[in-house]
Every structure is written in C-alpha cells, then in structure tokens.
Amino acid sequence: MKAVVTVVGHDAKGIIAKVSSKCAERGGNIVEISQSVLKEYFAMIMVIEVNDITVPFATLVEELAELGRENGLDIRAMHEDIFNSMHRI
Amino acid sequence: MINTKDILETINMIKDENLDVRTITMGISLYDCAGDDINVVCDRIYDKITTSAENLVSVGCDIEKEYGIPIINKRVSVTPISMVGGRYTPDDYVKIAKTLDRAAHTLGINFIGGYGALVQKGFTNNARNLIMSIPEALSVTERVCSSVNVASSKAGINMDAVALMGKIIKETAYLTRDNQSIGCAKLVVFANVPEDNPFMAGAFHGVGEAEKVVSVGVSGPGVVSSAIKRAGQCDFTELAEIIKKTAFKITRMGQLVANEASRRLDVPFGIVDLSLAPTPAVGDSVAHILENMGIERCGGHGTTAALALLNDAVKKGGVMASSRVGGLSGAFIPVSEDAGMIDAVECGALSLEKLEAMTAVCSVGLDMIAIPGDTSEAVICGIIADEISIGVANTKTTAVRVIPAYGKGVGDSVEFGGLLGYAPIMKLSNYTCEDFIARGGHIPAPIHSLKN
C-alpha cells in the first residue's frame, strides 16, 4: 500500500529532512516527492510505500501529525486510494 | 503520481470545509429474535446486536485514521421493533427499548434506530402497543431513536395514526421536560419512509433488507458552499455543473469508505446516502449554500428554487459516483442543526410556512423545529398532516420532527448540544384544526395521472 504524506505550513529549514527521516526510521520507502514554496508557505507531497513499516500505519499517521505540531506544520498521511477515488473516474 | 492540485483540494476539503463521512450505519435484522417470553427476546436482541456490530466502532476508527477522513458517527439500525414477532404490551416494548439502549452503550455508538412501526394502512396490535410505549421509551433511554410511517403514496394517509402521533409527541415532550423535551428530537413521523436510510433519527433496517448490511451517509455542505463561492457570478447551468462535480467527489469518498467498511466487517454493502447533512458547526450549513447562490437570507423569495437546483444537482453528481444509492439522498434542512437556518429563523427571514414549501423540493421535511410547548395536539397533527400530504402527493419522502418544548414560548430557545444543536421556538398559526383532525379515518391515496 502507498500513502500520500502532505506537509503544509510556513517555510522553515530542514522540513524535508525531518519528515523523510521519520519515514525512514519507521521503514517507509519514499517513492515520489514534490515540493513548492509559494511566498512564505511551503507545501510538500510525498508518496511512500508503507508495506514494510515497523509500526501500524495508524501509529505512523499519529507520529507524523505530532512532528507537524512540534514544528508548526500540518502533516497528514493518508491512504492513496482516497485521492484516486475522488479525482479519477 | 496523483496531481498535486487534486491532493491539496482533498486536504483543503477535510481541513477547512468540514468534509466528512457523517455516518457508517450497520443495519441488523431482528426477525430471528422473536419469542413469547419478553426477557428471552430482550436477551436475544442484546446478543445479536452486540455480536453483529462488535467491531463497528473500531473498524470505523481504523478507516478514519488510515484514510485521513473523519467518520463522525458509527450507528446501528434494526428491524422496526413492532415487527419482531410475539405478543407484547407497551411495557414489554419499553423493556426492548432499554435493551437497545444498553446495546448502544456497550457498542459505544451514539444512536440506535428502529424503535418504530409502519402503519400507513392500519395498525396491528403490536404497532399500536409500540406507538403507545414511545413516550416512556424515549424518556427512559438515551440513545434510542424512534420513527413511525403514517402514510405512503400508494396507501394514502392514516389519519388515525396522525392523530395518535400528535398525542405521542406531546406526551414525549412532557416526559422529557427536564431535558428540554429532547425525546421529540429522537422521534420522526414519516410519509414514504425509505427502508435503507442510515441517518438518525429515522433509520431502521427495512423489511426487505438482508440479514445485515453496512450503509454510509456522506455529508459536505461546506465543500459545496465553498465551491459555489469560488465560482463567483456564473450562470445556473454552470452552477449546477459545479455542484454535480463536487457531489461526485464527496460521494466517491463515501463509496470508498463503504466498500472498506463492508470488507473489514464482512457484512454486505447496503447503500450510500447522498445527503448534504449540515451540522451546527461554522461552515457546515445548507442555508449558507443557498445564500452563496445569491439569496440574501435563507427563507427569502427564491429559496425554494435555489434548493430545488441544489437537491437535483447533488443527486445527479452522486448517482454516478456510487454503485448503489438509497436512503434519503438529498439536502437536509433541519433548523436546529444548521447555523445558517438558525440565523435565518432568528432574524425573521425563515418561517415555518417557507420551510414547508422548501420540503416539497428537497429531502426529508420539517426537521428539528422547536414550537411552543403549549401547542395543542390538534395543531401538531395539522402540521404533520400538511407535511405528510406534500410527500404523498409528490411521491417523495417527507417527515416531521417537531419539538413542542415544554414550558417555552416564542422568543425562547432550546439547546440540545452536540449534533442536535440549538433551536429558537418558531411561531405557529393561531387558528386550530381540531374538527378536521377529529374526523379520523383515512385520506385516500392520490391519483397518479392527470398530474397538474
């Protein structure tokens, strides 16, 4: 299963490093990444393969959300099917 | 890769526009719980519900976390209790109501629906006894919801049942007077009731349904409202297109959640209900959608047309997004559960008469409307008869959920909290219809040709 991780918030140093090291720590494999900075806002979208993660997916979701709260960012990890079903016929 | 714009659109819908799945409702048949000893029947009902829906809440929470989509309610609907075989007195039925309430507490669900009867053509002894038990049942339980179908387009209107329900509603208001007559917020009188509706308080597991099913009710007034706002001053054709596309996306999400819940619970998928269900939260209002279309205040002239367009476009967009659609499917206009409706009533823009007209073109009917506590039974019956007639004549579902708030009058309000919200007491006509209701009997089914 693949998950889509979105990071939205004010731009700050080291955001990508923090999020990707959390994913790596839990055994997630980053397969795609894109980011954009619009004025002071930062938006990053990462697709990660979560078949081999060492914790339940729900735990990873919560850990990433917590990482977001600590850094003033909104970080969400969601099953990719939600986007596929809503935006593709 | 999925388009960045699409991903951010979904995130925005959830984060800022209150997109959610309103309910996952498991329908459970209780036919096989029949028996002569009421205590045995109660045990069977308790066991069947608590084992069938054992994992409902945990599965709902898991899906919520994995997919990142809030699932607000997990609920259970059961076979109309008056149809569970046996010979029961009103007191026996109250025992069953307590059993349902206990099961709801055990499962951790906030409502359980199906404490009801279908009497559009006449009363069985059981149906009458169950209806007589409703006031007590709703006053001694917390989570049980009740509904009674009094009419259909094929059977006409059972006016004896309408008369009885006026009395039952008043009694329920009195027995729950210490809690702002909240019992009436859990009691719905229907015409043409859908048998697969997952939304409370009118949910039950219909007579032709399978042993168990899982149905989903989607929501998303905030998403539709924002989409209309973004579109600016476009024409009606484009407006309808925007609503359809938005409804499609919302419903696809609902269908995904329904499929996933069905798979994980190992219970067949029932239907997706395409309703726009508001909540009292800011940005989750159907009234605000109508206002974003260009009506100054919900209830002003043009409101019915705007609502008709909205309702139709939601269905057209939603139907293609789901493999099976059912339930109430349409826009809900409950007063107490919609911040925009509450404001419109308070500023005098929205009257009961206008609400009645609006129900001719959208889902449900006069919903969650607080009326003065001293309203007579006959007037309540008149409100029911009017609303039910709209449903019967137009071959659609209509319903009445009014709260004659004990001890309160126009200018006061009732506050239920949570999803049930807050309602200002609405003004009614000063004229009575006592002699009309006292006639009793049956209003014949309407002719379905010569449609004018």
Ranges of each domain in chain B:
23-191, 217-265+272-443
Q: Which of B2, B8, B9 sits opposite A84 (nearest CB)?
A: B2
Q: Which fold has domain B23-191?
A: Anaerobic Ribonucleotide-triphosphate Reductase Large Chain (3.20.70)
What CATH number does domain B217-265+272-443 carry, 3.30.470.20, 1.10.357.10, 3.40.50.2020, 3.20.70.20? Answer: 3.20.70.20
Sheet of strand A73-79, all strands in order from the earlier edge strand to the far edge: A29-38, A41-49, A2-10, A73-79
Looking at the complex, report in whole angstroms how far the Cα of residue B66 sits from the nearest Cα belonging to chain A.
6
Is-contact B121 B162, C-beta < 8 A?
Answer: no
Q: Catalogue the E-assigned strands of B253-337.
A: 269-273, 325-326
Asked whether the domain spanning B217-265+272-443 has the same topology as the one spanning B23-191, the reply is yes
Residue of A nearest to B253 (CA): A86
Task: List C-alpha distances in Å: B128 to B37, B49, B145, B196, B402.
Answer: 19, 25, 17, 23, 21
Q: Which residues contact B76 (CB under 8 A, 6 or more apart)?
A: B25, B26, B27, B28, B49, B53, B56, B103, B104, B107, B109, B112, B113
How far is residue B30's CA from residue B41's CA, in Å, rounded to a whole number?
10
Global confidence as pTM: 0.92
Pairing type for strands B413-417 and B398-405 reads unpaired
Q: Is A47 on the interface with B (CB under 8 A)?
A: yes
Query: Residue B362: what residue type?
Result: C
Q: Name residue B372's beta-bridge partners.
A: B405
Residue of B nearest to A62 (CA): B65
Residue B88, helix vs strand vs coil: coil
Is-contact B263 B29, C-beta < 8 A?
Answer: no
User: Which uninterrupted H or E stretch holds A58?
Assistant: helix A57-70
Backbone angles phi, psi at B209, to 5 degrees: -80, 165
Q: Which residues contact B372 (CB under 8 A, 6 or more apart)?
A: B404, B405, B408, B409, B410, B425, B428
Interface of B with A (CB under 8 A): 1-4, 6-11, 15, 62, 65-69, 249, 252-253, 255-256
Give chain B's length: 452
Residue listed under structure tokens 């309540």 = B380
User: Do B10 and A83 make contact, defined as CB atoms within 8 angstroms?
Assistant: yes
| Residues of chain A with C-beta less than 8 angstroms from the C-beta of B252 | 85-86
pLDDT in tens, chain B (452 residues): 678 888 888 888 888 888 899 999 999 999 999 998 999 999 999 999 999 999 999 999 999 999 999 999 999 999 999 999 889 999 999 999 999 999 999 999 999 999 999 999 999 999 999 999 999 999 999 999 999 999 999 999 999 999 999 999 999 999 999 999 999 999 999 999 999 999 999 999 999 999 999 999 988 899 999 999 999 999 999 999 999 999 999 999 999 999 999 999 999 999 999 888 888 888 889 999 999 999 999 999 999 999 999 999 999 999 999 999 998 888 899 999 899 999 999 999 999 999 999 999 998 889 999 999 999 999 999 999 999 999 999 999 999 999 999 999 999 999 988 878 889 999 999 899 999 999 999 999 999 888 77
Q: Is A6 on the interface with B (CB under 8 A)?
A: yes
pLDDT value at position B402?
A: 96
The interface predicted TM-score of the complex, written ipTM, equals 0.86
User: Do B3 and A87 make contact, defined as CB atoms within 8 angstroms?
Assistant: yes
Looking at the complex, report in whole angstroms how far the Cα of residue A65 sits from the nearest Cα belonging to chain B.
11
How far is residue B368's CA from residue B188's CA, in Å, rounded to a whole number?
9
Residue B440, helix vs strand vs coil: coil
Q: Which CATH architecture has domain A2-87?
A: 2-Layer Sandwich (3.30)
End-to-end CA distance of chain B: 54
Mutate to test the interface with B, among A86, A88, A89 (most CBs of B within 10 A): A86
Query: Residue B340: what residue type?
Result: G
Quick one: tokens of B395? 């071959």
Looking at the complex, report in whole angstroms how far the Cα of residue B60 sits from the nearest Cα belonging to chain A.
13
Is-contact B308 B361, C-beta < 8 A?
Answer: yes
Residue listed under structure tokens 């925009």 = B340
User: Residue B12's closest CA among A86, A22, A67?
Assistant: A86
| Residues of chain A with C-beta less than 8 angstroms from the C-beta of B254 | none
- How confident is residue A89, by pLDDT bands cut at 50, 70 and 90? confident
Residue-wise over B210-241: b if at least 16 C-beta within 10 A, else e? eebbbbbbbbbbbbbbbbbeeeeeeeeeebbe
Residue of B nearest to A31 (CA): B1
Is-contact A83 B14, C-beta < 8 A?
Answer: no
Looking at the complex, report in whole angstroms how far the Cα of residue A18 sits from the nearest Cα belonging to chain B.
21
Dihedral sign for Cα atoms in the order B31, B37, B43, B46: positive
User: Residue B87's closest CA among B46, B51, B38, B44?
Assistant: B38
- H helices present in B176-235, as ranges: 221-231
**Cβ count near B179 (within 10 Å):** 14
Residue A20, helix vs strand vs coil: helix
Residue listed under structure tokens 């809440």 = B57
User: Do B65 and A6 make contact, defined as CB atoms within 8 angstroms?
Assistant: no
| Residues of chain B with C-beta less than 8 angstroms from the C-beta of A81 | 67, 256
Rounded to the nearest 5 degrees, what angle is found at the Cα of B143, between the Cα atoms of B140 and B147? 90
| Residues of chain A with C-beta less than 8 angstroms from the C-beta of B62 | 58
Ranges of each domain in chain A:
2-87
Cα dihedral B24/B420/B365/B220 (nearest 10): -50
User: Do B2 and A83 make contact, defined as CB atoms within 8 angstroms?
Assistant: yes
User: Do B252 and A78 make contact, defined as CB atoms within 8 angstroms?
Assistant: no
Q: What is the DSSP letter of B36?
A: S
